[in-house]
Homo-oligomer: A and B are copies of this chain.
Amino acid sequence: MAFTFQINNDLKFNHDEVLLRKSEENRPDIKIETITPTRMVDVVEDETKLNGISVVTSEKDVMSLKDYGLMRDDKLILDFGDHRVGTFQMDIDQTGSPMDAPLYMRLKFAEMPAELAAESADYDGWLSRSWIQEELIHIDELPVTLKLPRRYSFRYVEIKVIDTSPKWQAVFSNPVVMTETTADYSRLQPLELEDVELQKIYNVGVKTLADCMQDVFEDGPKRDRRLWLGDLRLQALANYATFDQTDLVKRCLYLFAGMTTEEGKISANVFVKPQNVPDDTFLFEYSLFFISTLYDLHQAHPDIELVKELYPIAKKQMDITLGMFDENGKLVPDEDYPVFVDWSNEFNKDTAGQAEVIYVLKQFIALAEQTGDMDIASYQNQLYKISNYAKDQLFDSEKRLFVTTGGEYNIASQVWMVLAHVMSDEENKAIMQSMIEKLFPVKNIATPYMYHHIVEALFEAGLKEEAVRLMKDYWGKMIALGADTYWEAFDPDHPDYSPYGSPIVNSYCHAWSCTPVYLIKKYLVDAQQ
């Protein structure tokens, strides 16, 4: 998530036990499946793949795994055939002379081949080393069934024997992963698309979403493994388009609703293990997206009781936000409650933030209508003022682009103003065409999260062809580079870029990237029906 750590650990939080109990009641069962490896592989250089690394089928036969005795520094790599999230176990025995020393071994779990080529000792990034998925294990007595207690996110498992003794070899057999997900595949009616490329993009998106559907909608099953509100909004939309499991969305909404600050503000993310704890990180529009997520749920599965129940919390977020506007209707950003828009801090976010408020305020007013809120006129007035400020002060009619404080024209401003439908449909189309003309090709945007909003804005502006092209150029390129699931970060101009300095802490299955399943269904399939 954001590059800057917020520390607000003196804050006190409400714990609404009624809402938190409802979050428990909506907890779906975790489904477990046992998967065996399909082959053994060797790491090879391949400049067409991520970081120039790929794998090829090994000469070693996975069906004969137990015939290979491993000594000091020997290793082998198991391929479980696709991205997996779950626990790992295998049997270990020894061959040769009696076991005259412990076995010391390393297990390395990799989502992508690039991780197999990186050594944890070389990692010196700012992000915690503790995310590196490797375990160093001593075993004093063999045979044993090694059952690792932790959950991993991976396709490949490298087994490396650090040492036995010169007298005996370690032997491995029956490796399995017990996959975990709350996604219910029996509910999924996969789309069948004529466009083979889009079909692949869709399929990988479904897998990405499913592997992030755990006890909550996790942002990434490898890292950070927690519920972020901005990510939840996109996951929920992707979910309605696929598995359509409302219980998990409700669980997550109740979690955020049940743990607000004393002021009433919702955290950007929450933890649920070993107990429910809200993080002390706050992002401006992530709090607001509580409203969006509630709105989207009600659109997908109308539930007026739920809307009424959570409306006061939604309203609180909007009220906090509206307090951040000046008398002219201009957002005055607060660096302690930062506008996110995207990871990068290299562009001005004022106009995009203003647009996000308009986007959400419209949804909020729709909910206010449903609940019969007597204050609705006030919100409508605010919407009018804020929208007018955007149209009058932030739109450069000559360039047909929105401008930010400091005179910057950036993609995010155009995208969010279009998504917020501040201007007419014709004007939106013109803005997007102007953006394509003046600001494309996209540069220095490294997240599927921002790409999602660009593509959606193109669709919303009626530029379907351009939207599909960008989707194929971005998500299709991840697949071409070897993705089994979509990544947390990807800049097509710098495919090897890691925000953390090493692929071993990158998350290669990250929920905010799964949205092609939603975009394809909404704008390409449903729109044609």
Verify if A494 is at the interface (C-beta below 8 Å from B).
Answer: no
Verify if A129 is at the interface (C-beta below 8 Å from B).
Answer: yes
Verify if A277 is at the interface (C-beta below 8 Å from B).
Answer: yes
Known contacts A9-B96, A224-B100, A279-B98; A130 and B138 CB within 8 A of each other = yes
Verify if A126 is at the interface (C-beta below 8 Å from B).
Answer: yes
Measured as residues with beta carbon below 8 angstroms from the partner, the interface class of chain A is 35 or more
> In whole Å, how far is A44's beta carbon from the nearest beta carbon of chain B?
28
Known contacts A167-B7, A273-B140, A273-B141; A162 and B130 CB within 8 A of each other = yes
Whether the pair A277, B98 counts as a contact (CB closer than 8 A) is yes
Q: List, in ascending order, chain B residues with CB within 8 A of A135's CB.
A: 136, 138
Write the A121-155 contact mask toward B (1 if CB under 8 angstroms, else 0): 10000111111100110101111000000100000
Verify if A104 is at the interface (C-beta below 8 Å from B).
Answer: yes
Q: List, in ascending order, chain B residues with CB within 8 A of A271's CB.
A: 98-100
- What's the number of copies of this chain in the assembled complex? 2
Write the A427-454 contact mask toward B (1 if CB under 8 angstroms, else 0): 0000000000000000000000000000
Q: List, in ascending order, chain B residues with CB within 8 A of A97's CB.
A: 7-9, 279-280
Whether the pair B163, A101 counts as a contact (CB closer than 8 A) is no
Q: Which of A79-113 contact B (CB under 8 A)?
A: 96-104
Write the A9-22 contact mask toward B (1 if CB under 8 angstroms, else 0): 10000000000000
Whether the pair A101, B136 counts as a contact (CB closer than 8 A) is no
> In whole Å, how far is A360's beta carbon from the nearest beta carbon of chain B?
26
Whether the pair B7, A130 counts as a contact (CB closer than 8 A) is no
Q: List, in ascending order, chain B residues with CB within 8 A of A372's CB.
A: none
- Tell me the bound Cα distance from A449 to B121 in angstroms: 41
- Tell me the bound Cα distance from A244 to B221 in angstroms: 58
Whether the pair B130, A166 counts as a contact (CB closer than 8 A) is no
Q: List, in ascending order, chain B residues with CB within 8 A of A413's CB.
A: none
Q: List, in ascending order, chain B residues with CB within 8 A of A104's CB.
A: 128-130, 132
Residue of B nearest to A95 (CB): B9
Verify if A164 is at the interface (C-beta below 8 Å from B).
Answer: yes
- Tell me the bound Cα distance from A72 to B101 in angstroms: 31
> In whole Å, how far is A298's beta carbon from the nearest beta carbon of chain B?
30
Out of B102, B130, B138, name the residue touching A164 (CB < 8 Å).
Answer: B130
Q: Which of A160-212 contact B (CB under 8 A)?
A: 162-167
Verify if A407 is at the interface (C-beta below 8 Å from B).
Answer: no
Verify if A226 is at the interface (C-beta below 8 Å from B).
Answer: yes
> In whole Å, how far is A496's beta carbon from the nearest beta carbon of chain B?
24
4 nearest CB pairs, A to B:
A104-B130, A101-B128, A129-B163, A102-B130
Supplied contacts A5-B166, A9-B96, A98-B271, 7 more A-B pairs, CB within 8 Å: A9-B97, A98-B278, A101-B224, A102-B130, A127-B165, A130-B138, A141-B273
Can you identify 15 A-B contacts, CB atoms within 8 angstroms?
A7-B167, A9-B96, A72-B128, A72-B129, A97-B279, A98-B271, A100-B224, A100-B271, A128-B164, A128-B165, A129-B162, A129-B163, A130-B163, A138-B150, A143-B274
Report A's interface with B, CB cutoff 8 A. 5, 7-9, 72, 96-104, 121, 126-132, 135-136, 138, 140-143, 150, 162-167, 224, 226, 271, 273-274, 277-280
